[in-house]
Structure 1
Amino acid sequence: MRVTRTRAAGAASKESCTPGRGVGPSATKTELDRLYRKIALRLLPFLFVAYIVNSIDRVNISFAKLRMMDDLGLSTATYGLGASLFFVGYVLFEVPSNLYMQRIGARATVMRIMILWGLITVATGFVTAPTQLYILRFLLGAAEAGFFPCIILYLTYWFPAARRGRITSMFVLAVPTAGILSGPLATWIMNTFDGAHGLHGWQVLFVYEGIPAVLLGILAWFLLPDGPTAATWLTERERAVTISAIESEQASRTAPAMSGGVFRQLLTDKRVYIAGFVFFAMYAGFNVFSYWTPTLLEGLGIDDLTTIGMLSTLPAIGAVIGMIVNGRSSDRRLERRFHVAVPLLIAGICFGALLLTRSNVLLSMILLTTAATMCFGTLPVFWTVPPSYLSPVTAAVGIALISSIGGVAAFITPNLIGQITVATGSIHNALLVVGALLIVAAVVMVKGIPARVLQEHRAASTTHTES
């Protein structure tokens, strides 16, 4: 088996086997199931907890908003701008972060990102003016840039595409899990520790929720191997089987010529923009729940912090269900496009229908929860698609580029919703725009990504799994 020097595989020795050269050891389905279960149990718990902390630190401003607006003199539109500036830094630094990850490895990247974002979150608790908040939100986005695409790429070092839907769904379940935890946790901290250390409750919130990221960043150095060849807890045969599975998958895809450079090739690949637009729309939907759920609940006449925190968990619970059910259904049928398109269509309809139920708490919560179930249910399935048609050479930059396009929506959406809400006096008019965007994305997903591309990859993955 030929071996070539590369940092992309993230091995301790910085080596990985070149795709398409030789055939690795065959393994039965039972052996493969046992192997991937072992890998998942080693990697996913830490990654899952890290992503929970990441999600909480990103959106805790939505709960702090309920009390910090008066202290800092923020309007709804100003808050929307502050929330969205996070994604300016995120988009600008996401591709460079993923490229740098290929040089220094996954564990060093995760450590750097988590320590920086934790410290910036703590610093946010000490802002005294809107300008300071804007600067720190931008820096938080710059610090966090690359975390999600880094993990998505990292998982491709370990798991073949046929298993990646389930694995990715388990990882991204951290987002709705954070949604379940963040509301009650944030409101409890703000109510219980208001005045502690001479700080307002919203200030204590940022300080207390920033510290775990720093600690987890330090642990990442010790818990995350850069790739299979660096995993001392795998036997020699297990490492060979793991590497062989990834090689066989990569060999089924033709790497593009490198004369124009990876980035230039991606900029001319329409599939990147198609996937990017779909993720753009998905992110717009995610941001409704990340930054505006407390405001929506407050608009329904609910002003008690504890009640808002508890009700905000319902869409998050729905999101957990959606991710599990849709991810497993997609893997079982080995179908991706409609498992993204249909949920997006339903979510778009639900957002539009909220305009009709704005005076009814029960119906509004049903629609919000359904929209969250559908919208977040697309996340693990969607991220199995780009690695299926991007070559091993372009995957790292391609994933980051698609994620960055989604990050543009993450910048636009909070700001746009804030502006429309101020201009029209109702957040529901802004949700009509988000709903329409999701419906268009559902059509683009089906029409823009050929089934043939994913079917060819499915055949290659199935053949290896059954060997």
Structure 2
Amino acid sequence: MAAHSTLEHRTIRKVSRRIIPFLIILYFLSFLNRVNVAFAGLTMNHDLGFTNAVFGTGAGVFFIGTFLFGTPSNIALHRIGARRWIALMMLAWGSLSAANALATNPTSFYLLRFFIGVAEAGFFPGVILYLSFWYPTRHRAFVTAIFMAAAPLSNMIGSPISGALLQYTNGVAHLHGWQWLFIVEALPTVVLGCIALVYLTDKPEDAQWLEQDERRWLTQELEKEHSEKAARSASNVWVAFKDIRVWLLALVYSGTSMGLYAIGFWAPMLLKQFGFSFVELGVINAIPNLVAVVGMVYWGRRSDRQRERRLHVAIACLAGALGMVVAGQAASALVLVIALSVANFGINAAKPPFWSMPTLFLSSSAAAAGIGLINSVGSSIGGTVGQMVIGKLRDLSGNYSSGLYFVSATLVISAVIAVLFGRPATSKVDMRSPSK
């Protein structure tokens, strides 16, 4: 048993060193290209005459693309292979993200955002599925937390970069600062898309960088889990669409997505009300994201150690809801930063234990379809509805409070559904290590 444990530790550590840092960089760029419109909007809205409603609609249209193509893209990844499909997606969305610099009116802005959503639709759910190809269930929440830390990390590092680009490149080569922002921040995505094609490995049995005993142990361990899940439920694509648990998880995810993108798209504008320069704004906006990075990794590890998912999701959602309410009432920059930090922690911390839930009752093609469906439905509701509502309420009321309260209410609903989700997604039997 000791030898088995040593082999497991050695294998998981080697897998993590090989694929997790690279996936973090890819998700970092994915999220940066998705939300850098928040900083661009600080001057782009004025230059192109966009209202808050137009900006919110443009931010949200992205998620219509992810909704329509998320599940088909994830099924394609399962059939074609992660290496080729991820590389293709990155080349597509990187090129389209740079093309944001060509937007001249609401229609062109909407179309570009929609097609970026189409191109990027399968990336996040694809990586969640990809991690299930490499990690037994008992390790998955923690590695998911490490991977997903790239989202707040992207805001933490990307915010100062975006602020500096906005401030110091304006007028260079007769382009606006927001145009340079889109172009510069898209280039690494295209470059790494080419690298992904040769660096990633589809499945453990193809991993020549693992020793033979490591490949054998990991392959057998994952096949054993797959067989156990397959014995409890069917594994074809249509099972995911008929399973009520998939739709309940999509509703939970819609609340966390609404919170995530409310902060991602609107936090710079919330903070700008206090008169910060673009560079100062970038640095200050990084603080809540630093809190989120540390908090979500801790929360994911805690979820793995306690082998519990539902309450970890629910408690985190309630923390996010509280932060949103306080942010809506904040009368000073300090209170706003603290509130956004609490909200950012809760929203991001909910995600690692959440994404450990679908693969506990879905396997094979059903897992690919189910994860894609949860992501596309949850992201489209949270991303599209949330941003449109916030933008419209901002134009009507002159402040962001009503929109933030609306987001808070959706997070409370997510918490309630997570608590009531039921035993199948949280069974300790399902999550127990076979080696124990």
TM-score range, shorter chain: over 0.9
Root-mean-square deviation (Å): 1.7
- Provide the rounded CA distance (Å) in 2 between the counterparts of 1:169 and 1:416: 29
Partner of 1:465: 435
1:360 equivalent in alignment to 2:336: no
8 A Cα contact 2:321 2:411, kept in partner: yes
Q: How does 1:300-311 map to 2 (within 5 A)?
A: 301-311=274-284
- Provide the rounded CA distance (Å) in 1 between the counterparts of 2:261 and 2:425: 32
1:83 equivalent in alignment to 2:56: no
Q: How does 1:28-47 map to 2 (within 5 A)?
A: 28-47=4-23
Amino acid corresponding to residue 210 of structure 1 in structure 2: A
Partner of 1:223: 199
Instruction: Report deviation, 1:29.
Output: 1.1
Amino acid corresponding to residue 391 of structure 1 in structure 2: S
Q: What 5-or-longer segments of structure 1 have no aligned partner?
A: 1-24
Partner of 2:254: 280
1:182 equivalent in alignment to 2:155: no
Amino acid corresponding to residue 326 of structure 1 in structure 2: W
Partner of 1:119: 95
Q: What 5-or-longer segments of structure 2 have no aligned partner?
A: none
Q: Which residue, out of 30, 37, 40, partners 1:54?
A: 30
- Provide the rounded CA distance (Å) in 1 between the counterparts of 2:423 and 2:24: 32
Q: How does 1:91-102 map to 2 (within 5 A)?
A: 91-102=67-78
- Provide the rounded CA distance (Å) in 2 between the counterparts of 1:214 and 1:354: 36
Decide whether aligned partners of structure 1 residues 238 and 263 sit closer, same or farther in structure 2, where only a CA change above 3 A counts. closer
Larger of the two Rg values belongs to structure: 1
8 A Cα contact 2:139 2:304, kept in partner: yes
Partner of 1:214: 190
Decide whether aligned partners of structure 1 residues 244 and 128 sit closer, same or farther in structure 2, where only a CA change above 3 A counts. same
- Provide the rounded CA distance (Å) in 1 between the counterparts of 2:398 and 2:240: 42
Q: Which residue, out of 130, 134, 144, partners 2:106?
A: 130
Decide whether aligned partners of structure 1 residues 271 and 451 sit closer, same or farther in structure 2, where only a CA change above 3 A counts. closer
Decide whether aligned partners of structure 1 residues 102 and 79 sit closer, same or farther in structure 2, where only a CA change above 3 A counts. same
1:342 equivalent in alignment to 2:315: yes
Q: How does 1:6-405 map to 2 (within 5 A)?
A: 28-255=4-231, 262-299=236-273, 301-357=274-330, 359-405=331-377
Amino acid corresponding to residue 197 of structure 2 in structure 1: W
Percent identity, please.
34
Instruction: Report deviation, 1:256.
Output: 6.8
Q: Which has the higher helix share?
A: 2
Instruction: Report deviation, 1:410.
Output: 1.0
Q: Residue deviations 1:378-397, cap 9 Å, x none?
A: 11111111111113341110
Q: Residue deviations 1:276-302, cap 9 Å, x none?
A: 111011101101111000111123x22
Amino acid corresponding to residue 465 of structure 1 in structure 2: S
- Provide the rounded CA distance (Å) in 1 between the counterparts of 2:306 and 2:338: 29
8 A Cα contact 2:63 2:117, kept in partner: yes
8 A Cα contact 1:389 1:453, kept in partner: no
Report the number of matched residues: 435
Over 4 Å off, 4+ runs: 255-258
Q: Residue deviations 1:35-66, cap 9 Å, x none?
A: 11001111111111111111111111000000
- Provide the rounded CA distance (Å) in 1 between the counterparts of 2:140 and 2:426: 17
8 A Cα contact 2:361 2:425, kept in partner: no
Instruction: Report deviation, 1:437.
Output: 1.1
Amino acid corresponding to residue 242 of structure 2 in structure 1: T
